[in-house]
Structure 1
Amino acid sequence: MTKKMVTIGVLALQGAFIEHINHLQKAAKSAKSGSLVAGVQIKAVQVRTVEQLKSVDALILPGGESTSISLIAERTGLLVPLQEFVRIKRKPVWGTCAGLILLSDQASKATKGGQKLVGGLHVRCQRNHFGRQTESFSCDLALPFIDPNDPDDRFSAMFIRAPIIDRLLDSDTTDNFEALSLSDENVVYAPKLEADSDDRTLVEVICRLPKTLGSEADDIVAVRQGQIFGTSFHPELTSDVRLHLWWMEECVLPYLE
């Protein structure tokens, strides 16, 4: 019997998109018999045009430079289709680092007029929270697939000029996030869409930084809102493909018709 084809796109305007494609392919091959991923054929493709976006079932917005990605998307006519993909069609999507910024309803430490947002993820993220690239670091995270009773089971995440989520926006604050932003000239916000009023899916905190990091401990670095997933870090820059497999199992395949 021929397996159903599921096409996952990776936005390929700038940043680490090839690495995500490689991880998706490796993760699909690693799926155990009987799992959702093992039951379908995963095709990973680059997305640069509106037509390519229309052809995919799910999408990853990769790390890179969020301002550059948003400007290229706007110039190539992709920004509005991306907003519709996430917020009207409500397709599964994952944003890593810069991709998390783009998916957020609000972004602080941003340059007015320079940063455009896709929106849909009801959070405010803080850009470049950890400073410059020279202050990059890695640490082990307690992600959902990690066995807390196994000291050898770990996922080492890489943070490079990474954002954090510093506010969860519930349904009331989401309705008023434009007004909230007026008090901070360095906050930009995604444009409102009519479909936003129907989206009351709550944001779930998936992961925080470990307490061993001192002042940065408990910073939120991974969230999920239904079929929308966001991470501050770069899982595609490690050799571990388990987070890509978990995303397909939990956030993609259950949401496809």
Structure 2
Amino acid sequence: MQQYHFVLVHGACHGAWSWYKLKHRLESAGHQVTALDLAASGTDVRSMHDVCTFHEYSEPLLELLASLGQGERAILVGHSLGGVNLALAADRFPEKISAAVFLAAFMPDTAHRPSYVLEEYCARAPKGAWLDTQFAPVGKPDKPLTTMFFGPDFLSSKLYHLSPPEDLELGKILTRPGSLFLEDLSTSSNFTRKGYGSTTRVYVVCRQDLGIPLEFQRWMIENGGADHVLEVDGADHMAMLSKPQELCDCLLEIGANHVRA
């Protein structure tokens, strides 16, 4: 059996802990799994006050890819905001990525600034959609940054509504302030066709997602040009918790179709 290396990249305010059900399943199937904490996330000791740019936030992922040996390739799986981390990583290291998998994730394109899909998401969100999420400016005048911290109502109503109650409680305990990094991404250069644009991109749709609604997922697929699309039915935004086995099966299928022996 061919072994794959899955690199799991969490979404905003979350950490490597959010993959605990999926990591176990992939490893039990005989594959290598790396679940990362991005900067100021999970068990990383920094806070968002210490992170000025999206590149700094992504450094743990970039460092991991840089450390892979010649010829080593990984399947990157990005959840939610983690899709933008995937795009940045693919732009830097396209030769080290077998496939970039966007799990109910923001999927940038190469025609607009990296912030484009995030700005569209915010613009299309109905009034009050963020519920009890807290936003706060923490950046410096020359490097503005706005943090966000999901409140319990937002977690239970928009992200974890089909997940087991124990996982919702875990989320309430372990989430930390994060950021969409809109200020930084809006002034960053477009991702390139030669880098990110050359990477195989697979989108995994979560049909019952209320955090990134189905219609917006489909809009990003059309806008960004996903190479392949799979769907997980009965999954909320946290598919790795609400439908871990179905998601595991999706990723193994992606490995079988996109990883060269």
TM-score, normalisation: structure 1: 0.45
- The structure in which a higher percent of residues are strand is 1
- The structure in which a higher percent of residues are helix is 2
TM-score, normalisation: structure 2: 0.45
